[in-house]
Copies of this chain bind each other. A is one copy, B any other.
Amino acid sequence: MVQKQEYLSKNQKIVLDHVEKANQPLKAYSILFNVQKKGLKAPLQVYRALDKLVEIGKIHKIESRNTFVACKNSNCVVSNATAFSICESCEKVTEINNSKLSKYLSNFEDNSGMKYSKYNLEFFGLCKKCKNK
């Protein structure tokens, strides 16, 4: 299997490393605060790294929350088909990895004749823990 190799720059590695270790979505300025000891001083340094990491699919942006989370799907190369479940109580976010869903959405066409190259889906509800409270 041929896999595209990604060389990450110093800042990109620092940011990705931090986001991967979090296991939950992080805000850009929280990332900034936490990587300042590694030399990243300004918001732009974080945002530029995030932009690139989102572009290559290593990180996804949770649009409704303005947060960033590491991709759990190891073979996710580009971020063109994303789905998340979001608990509206504890804000826990989980990436949904469901081939039926992704097939359905990737092939979706409406009557406008527009063919979609990308989608982002966010489900909201209460997670098991919060439902039982």
Q: Residues of A at under 8 Å CB distance from B? A: 63-64, 85, 87-88, 94, 96, 98, 101, 104-105, 108, 110, 112-128
Contacts and interface: CB of A to CB of B under 8 A. Distances in A.
Given A96-B110, A104-B104, A110-B96, A85 B123 contact: no
A104 B123 CA distance: 13
Contact of A121 (B87, B96, B119, B127): B119
Contacts of A110: 85, 96, 98, 101
Contact of A122 (B87, B94, B120, B125): B120
A124 B64 CA distance: 16
Contact of A119 (B87, B94, B108, B122): B122
Copies held by the complex: 2
A64 B125 CA distance: 20
A97 B126 CA distance: 26
Given A63-B64, A98-B110, A125 B121 contact: no
Given A63-B63, A104-B104, A113 B128 contact: yes
Nearest to A124: B118
Nearest to A108: B101
Contacts of A64: 63, 120
